[in-house]
Structure 1
Amino acid sequence: MQDTQPLFIEDSYLTTSEATVVAISDRGGIVLDRTCFYATSGGQPGDTGFFEREDGSRIDIAATITGESKAEIIHVPANDQPVPGVGEKLMLHIDWERRYKLMRMHTACHLLTVICPYGITGASVGENESRVDFDMSEIVDKKDVTGKLMKLVEGNHPVFTQWITEADLESNPELVKSKNVRPPKGSGRVRLVCIGEGSSVDSQPCGGTHVSETKEVGEIHIGKIEKKGRENRRFRIRFGPLPE
């Protein structure tokens, strides 16, 4: 199946784009030459939204996933949606309200890894709650962690991406915070998501979408810290102030 140009890699704020249908999968998934729809990966859910056809009708998209490789992006129509033809041109529209929440949450997860410098054993980004699991046995106070998170948010640090070679990553293994998942190899380069001037706050491999400055995350708090085994702690991040 043909690779799709991932427009979101360079611009997380791109909400619409034109594209051409290049294939329809065996299960009815739509493959395009390029897309602004993020595909499920790295704990972040894929985008939803709709495609606008030249006659003004629409195709609702219920999910965006990857195929046999991350370069293959498949848009999954909702039930009972029409199937476009190969070669048809479409205007893509992502559900921006949902995407923006995920961008804010994903950035918040990165900030949490700065405050808790332990190996990451799992993560999941959600619209209203996200979780990050750490390989740690220390007991920490959610109020203290929340205060440190909000200090980073209010510092309004820039968030940006840069590319390094796979060789550079091998020479700097501390950039990889996950204990279980390594960045995919084979392309020759790795995308870093950096926070702070000159990456002063954080820098780690990530293919997800993020806000452009930490203040956009908004008010967040640690809703719960759960013990998951003797040396594993699960932190739940939620929007809004810490409840009294």
Structure 2
Amino acid sequence: MTPTGEQICYFDAYARSAEARVAAVEVGDVPLLVLDRTVFYPGGGGQPSDRGLVMRTVDGRSWTVRAARKVGGEIVHELEPDGGDPPAIGDVVRVDLDWARRLALMRTHTALHALCGVVWRDYGALVTGGNMEPGSGRMDFEFERMSGDLVDAIEASVNAELAAAREVRVAVLPRDEAFAIPDLIRTKVNLLPAGIEFIRTIEIVGLDLQADGGTHVANTAEVGRIRVQGYESKGRINKRIRIAVEDAQRSTSDLT
């Protein structure tokens, strides 16, 4: 398979579709495609991969993309196996996201960064883990104790920050420049590969700055509000907070 082409969502999370050319195909129980460019996020950092469609331009035939993943530096699109023979190398296709799902993930991911920013700023707690689905997620923090009152205070602070309509900025920095930023890595363990030369950062201006490869909204106002669904102890100094984004399936027009 050929090297991955352009990963559009790395810089433009709002791109819903794109024209591409098939660079490699693997026919098997689950057909696989590599394209010269794609809007699909391949998953990582706790964010699930995108889903959607691939449509061949010449005849309009389409295939469902059930997942995307990164393999050896390539973004591989997994097709549903009941779609028949996949497109051929060189075919021009259009890729389309399941946009409602992607937008819900963008809002959720930014909400989790706001949660991390509040917890770090107000309590100095490191992140020990996290995961998300469209509209909900959880973060684990290095807390010794957690209570309902504490969680209520965190929820109120996060919602205040989201309502402040803070800009969300994406940047890609040389490794040395990125690591010169204080507190850029606030996870218990630094998960960045040792040989990576450039680091992508997500900044919620005035609140949070982290190394991150996922997709986000452009302004915290697009998240709306979150509610804490619960909290639990995962160890002596490891506490989990579970959140939900209210009205997670709102469309882009509802957010403007």
Amino acid of the residue matched to residue 133 of structure 2? G
Tell me the residue number matched to 1:24. 25
Amino acid of the residue matched to residue 46 of structure 1? S
Amino acid of the residue matched to residue 124 of structure 1? N
TM-score (norm. length: structure 1): 0.92
User: How much has 1:26 moved relative to structure 2?
Assistant: 6.1
Tell me the residue number matched to 1:170. 179
* Residue from 44, 47, 50 that aligns with 1:47: 50
1:96 and 1:231 mapped to 2: Cα distance?
Answer: 38
Amino acid of the residue matched to residue 97 of structure 2? I
Deviation track 1:123-151 (CA, whole Å, cap 9, x = no partner) reads 11211320111122132422211111110
User: How much has 1:240 moved relative to structure 2?
Assistant: 2.6
SS at match of 1:156: coil
Tell me the residue number matched to 2:238. 232
Matched, 1:3 2:4: yes
1:181 and 1:63 mapped to 2: Cα distance?
Answer: 27
1:163 and 1:65 mapped to 2: Cα distance?
Answer: 21
Tell me the residue number matched to 1:158. 167
1:221 and 1:24 mapped to 2: Cα distance?
Answer: 43
1:29 and 1:163 mapped to 2: Cα distance?
Answer: 29
RMSD: 1.6
Identity of aligned residues (%): 32
2:55 and 2:27 mapped to 1: Cα distance?
Answer: 22
Tell me the residue number matched to 1:67. 71
Q: Is the 8 A contact 2:139 2:241 kept in 1?
A: yes
Matched, 1:105 2:114: no
Deviation track 1:169-204 (CA, whole Å, cap 9, x = no partner) reads 3333620112234223445211110112xxx21111
1:24 and 1:13 mapped to 2: Cα distance?
Answer: 27
Q: Is the 8 A contact 1:222 1:238 kept in 2?
A: yes
1:170 and 1:158 mapped to 2: Cα distance?
Answer: 22
1:192 and 1:3 mapped to 2: Cα distance?
Answer: 21
1:239 and 1:10 mapped to 2: Cα distance?
Answer: 24
Q: How does 1:127-142 map to 2 (within 5 A)?
A: 127-140=134-147, 141-142=150-151
**Unpaired segments ≥5 residues, structure 1:** none
User: How much has 1:79 moved relative to structure 2?
Assistant: 2.6
Aligned length: 236
Q: Is the 8 A contact 2:107 2:245 kept in 1?
A: no
2:101 and 2:23 mapped to 1: Cα distance?
Answer: 27
Amino acid of the residue matched to residue 225 of structure 2? E
**Unpaired segments ≥5 residues, structure 2:** 248-256
TM-score (norm. length: structure 2): 0.88
Tell me the residue number matched to 1:217. 223
Matched, 1:123 2:130: yes
Runs of 4+ in structure 1 deviating by more than 6 angstroms, as ranges, are none
Tell me the residue number matched to 2:250. none
Tell me the residue number matched to 1:188. 197
